[in-house]
Structure 1
Amino acid sequence: MFEFFRSKIYVAITLVLVTLLIGVLGYRVIAGYEWVDALYMTVITVTTVGFGEVNPLTPEAKIFTVILILCSVVIVGYAISVITEYIISRNAYDTIKHKKVQKQIDKLSNHIIVCGYGRNGKQAVEKLRAYNKSFVIIDKEEDVVQRYEDANTLFVNGNANEDEILLNAGVERASTLISALPDDADNLFVVLSARQLNQKLKIISRAEYETSQKKLKLAGADNVIMPNRIGGDHMASLVVVPDLIEFLDNLSVVGEEDSINVEEIGFEKFCPDGKEVSIKDIDLRYKTGCTIIGYKSPEGKYTVNPSADFILKKDSKLVVIGRPEQIINLHRIFGI
């Protein structure tokens, strides 16, 4: 729609420029004015400001002026109407689009809010999209929102420090908030605001400096991630235990055919009736080929490589590993 309006604007501007050019040439040839005087006469004629002529006009020049005034009134009026229509339509379209997006956000619950769509924010969104998680992105840069917003990516344009913006993103209904802003002070304000608005919200924040880590924790962040430290540790680990790190790097969410997948599965998927059973009872290895490598208790404690007699408690989670086809089989059998 806006391409159509832009084409009309280009036509209107072209007509105005052509009118000015014809006016300058006409006064130069017909009235014998100098170039500057011809331009001056053209401008005051087209804009109808009513200033006096540079020199008395000949009958031919007067006729030319009448024609120029009539044409310029029509052309300038057309240009103004096109530009006005474009501005009004643009504002109306933005308003309708904003309301439509807000309605979609209002329907979400247990979704993830990502504050900041920079490098870390984009990486987080890619991972969430791979897991088919519902998410909303908050970014204060309007050009970023316009560039990346689509039917599958919901944006809230504004400062994530403001309560109103967080509420528009559905922070009261969200399960998790990721604050990936580049400035630690901004992340601190986001964490404080989000924790105040939703006490049960899981908050993960980015931190640039070690001194900010403790402050973010005190403000209410459940996890604080320092990308620079992780990057340094990862590079050093590639020197110390390169094969192990490369193997871990190959663990992926969706993966290629020769990659390894890791999944986190809730208790309710294995035990829909709510009855507590042992790992041996669900017989995961035989049914799917996947291997259980970790267990998270309802209290948040982790057990690595739990035994076959390990009892699965309600609200616990299992971490399983397997090839892509085994993970697909796992999803099919347990309805994940």
Structure 2
Amino acid sequence: MSIFIKVRKALGWKFSTAKPEYDLNPLIYAQLKPFRLPLVLLQVIMMIGTLGYIIIDDFPILDAIYQTGITFTTVGFGEVAEISQAGRFFTITLIIFGFAIFTFSTAVLINVMIKGRLFDLYKERSMLYKIARLRKHFVIFYHNEYTAQLARQFRVNHIPFVVVDPSDDIEAIAKENGYPYYVKEEPYKELGFLKSHLSSAKGAISLSKSISDNITLIASVRLYEKELGRKPFLIISNAETQNEKIRLKKLGADKVVATPALMAKRVSAMAIRPDMENVLDEFLYKRDTPIDMEEIYVNENSWVVNREVKDLRLRDKLKVSVIGITEEKGRFIQMPRGTIVINAKSKLLLVGSQKGIARSKRIINLSNKPEDI
């Protein structure tokens, strides 16, 4: 083990080989391009000065380089050895040209810093490398109050996410709302997909208040999905009316939340059952809750197809209960009896611990019945 690796482990440094899908280096190099001429002139003046002192006053090469350096930079250390009259004239000329090059280089530097985007590009490049390490994250498009609330819930539940928004002050917005990863880009463009590392994401969430923005985003994500040839993204969006909700689902959204309808249902539940007001908050949304709920899809080749619910023995083995079954045609069976037969392409609604549900999902997706069931 090399010393570098030992030091890295001792200091807790972590390095990732993950690279962003969008390379900012060409843009950074373009910003650095104006520095080429000053650097070339610097090398030329150093070569001319070194050769001049060697030829005129027969300086050793190291003394010539040193004399050129202190003369060119005008530090005023004096002469390293006695210089002839021709050498002094050469030195004065070198000082004048050195001062001119220094002034020109300073002007180039100031111009790049003021008019250029070098610092911004380096900051963005650092952010893209951090995002490139994410896997199974969510990409949230458009910043608004919905995004801020969702981000807060994601942070509480340790769900990684990236916010994509075209606002010029997205950095300040991210700092204010606690977005750990953000991208300043138009959400519906491929550039936004590349920078947010959408190809490795679990899903995309569009929370614009404009239905046209949501429609454009959903269509763009589905097209990008086909280009990648990967399994479908989970696309979640919001709508202001029930009609918009229907349209977005037809266009490809997996889940659509109609904000007014959702608020009305919650208020109605509070009015009808005041004592049940905090049930969802306590058991579904609360951090580190012992109880979880998830819907499990039954594949056609699953061993549970055409078997009864009681044959799964989830309650006995894993303390997980099947509280509902959604059949392929949409019929929902509430609190199914143990004799209900499970059909292919149905969905089982399970309640139990997170660990138990995770194990149940693996068991249900097996092709052959486990020996311990």
Q: The TM-score by the shorter chain falls in which range?
A: 0.5 to 0.7
Quote the Cα distance in structure 2 between the aligned partners of 1:146 and 1:222: 32
Q: Which residue of 1 aligns with 2:186?
A: 159
Choose from 334, 338, 347 the match for 1:304: 334
Shift of 1:245: 4.3
Quote the Cα distance in structure 2 between the aligned partners of 1:312 and 1:253: 29
- Report SS of the residue matched to 1:224: strand
Contact 2:292–2:354 (CA<8 Å) still a contact in 1? no
Q: Which residue of 2 aligns with 1:227?
A: 259
Shift of 1:252: 1.6
Contact 1:116–1:181 (CA<8 Å) still a contact in 2? yes
Residue identity matched to 2:325: Y
Quote the Cα distance in structure 1 between the aligned partners of 2:221 and 2:345: 25
Q: Which residue of 1 aligns with 2:149?
A: 123
Residue identity matched to 1:124: L
Contact 1:111–1:133 (CA<8 Å) still a contact in 2? yes
Distance 1:266 1:152, change over 3 A: farther
Shift of 1:307: 1.9
Distance 1:88 1:168, change over 3 A: closer
Contact 1:262–1:319 (CA<8 Å) still a contact in 2? no
Residue 247 of structure 1 pairs with residue 279 of structure 2: yes
Percent of aligned positions with the same letter in both sequences? 19
Contact 1:177–1:202 (CA<8 Å) still a contact in 2? yes
Q: Which residue of 1 aligns with 2:229?
A: none
Residue identity matched to 1:275: W
Shift of 1:213: 3.5
Shift of 1:332: 8.2
Q: Which residue of 1 aligns with 2:23?
A: none
Quote the Cα distance in structure 2 between the aligned partners of 1:221 and 1:329: 29
Shift of 1:180: 0.6
Choose from 100, 119, 123 the match for 1:94: 123
Choose from 157, 163, 166 the match for 1:140: 166
Quote the Cα distance in structure 1 between the aligned partners of 2:253 and 2:319: 37
- Report SS of the residue matched to 2:323: strand
Contact 1:267–1:313 (CA<8 Å) still a contact in 2? no
Distance 1:221 1:168, change over 3 A: same
Residue identity matched to 2:303: K
Residue 238 of structure 1 pairs with residue 270 of structure 2: yes
Shift of 1:100: 0.9
**Structure 1 segment 202-213 matched on structure 2, within 5 A:** 202-210=234-242, 212-213=244-245
Distance 1:309 1:132, change over 3 A: farther
Distance 1:280 1:152, change over 3 A: farther
Quote the Cα distance in structure 2 between the aligned partners of 1:219 and 1:80: 52
Residue identity matched to 2:265: D
Residue 181 of structure 1 pairs with residue 208 of structure 2: yes
Residue identity matched to 1:230: L
Aligned residue pairs, count: 250
Unaligned runs of 5+ in 2: 1-101, 227-231, 363-373
Post-superposition CA distance 1:218-277 (Å, at most 9, x none): 443343322123213322332233334443443324556xx6723216468xx9x94225
Contact 2:294–2:357 (CA<8 Å) still a contact in 1? no
Task: Provide TM-score, normalisation by structure 1.
Answer: 0.56
Distance 1:154 1:261, change over 3 A: same
Task: Provide TM-score, normalisation by structure 2.
Answer: 0.52
Quote the Cα distance in structure 1 between the aligned partners of 2:127 and 2:258: 34
Q: Which residue of 2 aligns with 1:38?
A: none
- Report SS of the residue matched to 2:193: helix
Distance 1:260 1:244, change over 3 A: farther
Distance 1:79 1:278, change over 3 A: farther
Quote the Cα distance in structure 1 between the aligned partners of 2:124 and 2:302: 47
Residue identity matched to 1:251: F
Distance 1:93 1:189, change over 3 A: same
Quote the Cα distance in structure 1 between the aligned partners of 2:287 and 2:178: 25
Distance 1:167 1:189, change over 3 A: same
